Chain A
């Protein structure tokens, strides 16, 4: 029994240790640029946690990463590596934008769900290509999804810059540059912010915060995926195929069918990644549309250990780091490049420490189960 407590304690200790380790390595970096680490950390925490707008912005930053981490994790659970979330969310966002600006005159309760559906559809479509190639022709999904990411970048550029460029933007005497963007989406396609809802509880968010209903939707999505994986036959199939496709086949599960359905689901979730930004902040899609959410999602899924709750928490951690970076840049003049290094160091320490600790815990558990079974001469559950 004593060992049990020890293991539980270790599990709690792992993230704490990770943060301590990353703080130490970052301190070296901060000292190297001649700033005080204590002051930098103090500013990160104070700026991120003592202001209401910062907390809301952290959750806003986390929103796309929740979807992205979930999309990646569905792949991981099946033993597939969906690097293509990047391309899937850009295509999804474009589909959503298209449904947004091309259709006019619908009431919001029809238009908005339609736009969101189109986003999921776009992501699904872009994930269909690699999984079809994999199931039918055995093309490795890592290669095809990476290539499709590149294709999506250029395709989106072509669509925005040439086909759907908003030419009604005005120049002053033909001078200056217009934004390379689609027409703006009508209000009926935009996602309401959380301001009114939170106002009911006496929380008054400042106007410049774009926290919107996609955040609660992300939480709901995390729960749904948890339920799907753990409490439905399909979830069981996904997990079995992920652990051993051949064993699953022997048990009567068709891995190809599971791959196809699971990957399309992953793509559909990926299609929602960009919508929080598109439908609350931008209101149009331009060449400056946020990139890399797909890749960040891989880190989010890994840190969250493919567990929906873990993914939500690690997405919030990423959001926190991003907001903290803005704080130390404006208040302490820490250069942007240093901040990028700090973020990478933190993420890496977390990955390393959780991996080391988990292996250690697993070994302890195994030892314990051996002891138990020898004592009780029965198999542990």
Chain B
């Protein structure tokens, strides 16, 4: 009998709560509907730009945020011509393709896929929506040309990594430096070999410790492991650690702060986004101008000269480089002339930065001669 009473009482309670919830909604609804109506009436004229994030999503203070910065800047500069929207795929990113498709269905004109994991998905969706433009960051799709509705935005990460590797070697007192990678993939290995090559170019005897956080996309959002690996490298004697691990790098920077050693940021200028107390411990960042790539692509669409195919951003195009800001300019002023010299040599082709382990071995041999 008692159980029945409790049941009855809870049912009544549920009903009351339902009514309350219902009431509070009614007050909200007309307003939201108005908002929606307003958006729809404008969308007739404006270009709609969508962006789907990579693993880690917004707030990684790195790769995704850099893409978002480009989107935001374009939204501000072309406020009267475009409207923008972004989506985050679910854990594991299985619904990437669905999100791309739903954006395309909803009349978006240009859709970005942030990260090479979108390679297959963009290919499939782009075929179904020939009138919608797609931009793929970091991924290479074979056989595109100017008339394709896909643009691949590619970066020479190894060139930028070479410079920060050289910076690390010049700043290291112990002759030992470290690298923490996110997920072990060819693209992150390119960061690694570029960095090692730059360091060895300055000091052929230098020791470079190298660790990867993991084997899945989660490796880009695991600051705890990032911190552990960096601490391990610092304990082993490294005094500069470079990370290419997305949101996990937050842990690497924490480790450097804790040990009062240097970290090198990646993708965006991380000195600007970290806690002020951590700034003295960020030597520089390998800037991969994803924001510039996103912005330029949107700009080309707005100006009516969007081109499919491949756009490559290297040192020469200012697509990659090392960061100089108010916080680190005193730290690196002494090595900057050398870095600029190296940069010129890379642009001239005097130094050919290796792109994979095999080229790196040849590069190392050529140094020892």
Contacts and interface: CB of A to CB of B under 8 A. Distances in A.
A20 B14 contact: yes
A21 interface: yes
Contacts of A360: 3, 7
Given A39-B32, A326-B102, A363-B3, A177 B186 contact: yes
Contacts of A174: 355-356
B129 to A, nearest CB: 10
Interface string A163-200: 00000001111111111100000000000000000000
B266 to A, nearest CB: 15
B57 interface: yes
Contacts of B91: 292, 340
B312 A154 contact: no
A176 B152 contact: yes
A-B interface, 6 closest residue pairs, ranked by CB to CB distance from nearest:
A177-B187, A176-B140, A177-B116, A157-B215, A175-B154, A330-B102
Interface of A: 17, 20-21, 23-24, 27, 31, 35-39, 57, 153-154, 157, 161, 170-180, 207-208, 287-288, 290-292, 322, 325-326, 329-331, 333, 335-336, 339-340, 360, 363
20 contacts: A23-B18, A24-B21, A31-B21, A37-B21, A38-B26, A161-B184, A175-B154, A175-B155, A177-B116, A178-B116, A179-B116, A287-B183, A287-B185, A287-B217, A288-B92, A288-B94, A291-B216, A326-B99, A336-B90, A363-B3
A36 B36 CA distance: 13
Contact of B25 (A38, A179, A292): A38
Interface residues of B, number: 58
Contacts of A335: 88
Interface of B: 3, 7, 14, 17-18, 21-22, 24-26, 28-29, 32, 57, 85, 87-95, 97-99, 101-103, 106, 116-117, 119-120, 124-125, 128, 138-140, 142, 152, 154-156, 183-187, 215-217, 310, 312, 355-356
B120 A179 contact: yes
Contacts of A170: 140, 142
B128 A175 contact: no
Nearest to A291: B92
A306 to B, nearest CB: 25
A287 B212 CA distance: 15
Contact of B140 (A20, A157, A175, A208): A175
A153 B219 CA distance: 13
Interface majority SS (helix, strand, loop, mixed), chain B: helix
Contacts of A157: 215-216
Given A31-B24, A326-B102, A36 B32 contact: yes
A157 B213 CA distance: 13
Contacts of B119: 177, 179
Nearest to B58: A335
Given A37-B25, A336-B90, 4 more contacts: A38-B22, A173-B312, A177-B138, A340-B90
A36 B25 CA distance: 6
Contact of A288 (B85, B93, B154, B187): B93
A329 B99 contact: yes
A87 to B, nearest CB: 14
Nearest to B88: A336
Nearest to B96: A288
Contact of A333 (B24, B26, B85, B117): B85
Given A170-B142, A176-B139, A330-B106, A36 B87 contact: no
A287 B94 CA distance: 11
Contacts of A291: 92, 216
B184 to A, nearest CB: 7
Contacts of B17: 24
Nearest to A343: B90
A154 B215 contact: yes
Contacts of A180: 185-186
B92 A208 contact: no
A250 B260 CA distance: 69
Given A172-B140, A335-B88, A39 B18 contact: no
Contacts of A179: 116-117, 119-120
Contacts of B185: 161, 177, 180, 287
B242 to A, nearest CB: 19
Contacts of B24: 31
A288 B98 CA distance: 15
Contacts of A35: 32
Contacts of B88: 329, 335-336
A208 B101 CA distance: 9
Contact of A172 (B29, B99, B152, B356): B152
A161 B187 CA distance: 13
Contacts of B183: 287
A17 B97 CA distance: 35
A314 B58 CA distance: 32
A149 B139 CA distance: 30
B3 A171 contact: no
Contacts of B124: 208
Given A172-B310, A330-B106, A24 B14 contact: yes
A284 to B, nearest CB: 9
Contacts of B99: 326, 329-330
Contacts of B142: 170, 172
A24 B186 contact: no
Contacts of A288: 92-94, 117, 217
A292 B92 contact: yes
A161 B217 CA distance: 13
A212 to B, nearest CB: 16
Contact of A36 (B28, B94, B216, B356): B28
Contacts of A176: 116, 138-140, 152, 154, 187
B200 to A, nearest CB: 20
Nearest to A179: B119
A207 B97 CA distance: 13
B87 A330 contact: yes
Nearest to B121: A288
Nearest to A57: B98
Contacts of B7: 360
B94 to A, nearest CB: 5
B32 A208 contact: no
A257 B302 CA distance: 70
